[in-house]
């Protein structure tokens, strides 16, 4: 693939997909993302985080893999302000 025409995420591995149908509980959503991101920076926008997610995110960040957990409205989803928050976070890395 020509890097000049590749999209920004073309070099990343495929995103993990859950193996079951129906709504996922918070740990089932985030744990595969943490594994997929490995030591790359990761911003997670979600309407519900699990009890352990803040601790895991803090530990990932302390270990050199910056991690942002950003809550979004469960009914409206992400708004422009949410995206701006993530972009600001990314610029500061």
| pLDDT tens profile 42-85 | 999 988 888 888 999 999 999 999 999 999 998 999 999 999 99
Residue 18: which pLDDT band, with cuts at 50, 70 and 90?
low
Residue 16: predicted pLDDT: 57
Helix, strand, coil in percent for the chain, rounding step 5: 35, 15, 50
List Cβ neighbours of 86 (8 Å cut-off, separation of 6 or more).
Answer: 43, 45, 68, 70
pTM (global) more than 0.75: no
- First-last CA distance in the chain: 28
């Amino acid at each position: 693939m020509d890097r000049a025409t590749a999209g920004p995420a073309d070099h990343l591995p495929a995103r993990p997909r859950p193996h079951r149908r129906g709504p996922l509980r918070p740990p089932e959503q985030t744990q595969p993302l943490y594994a997929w991101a490995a030591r790359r920076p990761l911003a997670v926008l979600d309407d519900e985080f699990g009890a352990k997610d803040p601790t895991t995110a803090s530990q990932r960040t302390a270990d050199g893999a910056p991690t942002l957990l950003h809550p979004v409205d469960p009914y409206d989803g992400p708004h422009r302000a949410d995206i701006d928050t993530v972009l600001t976070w990314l610029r500061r890395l």
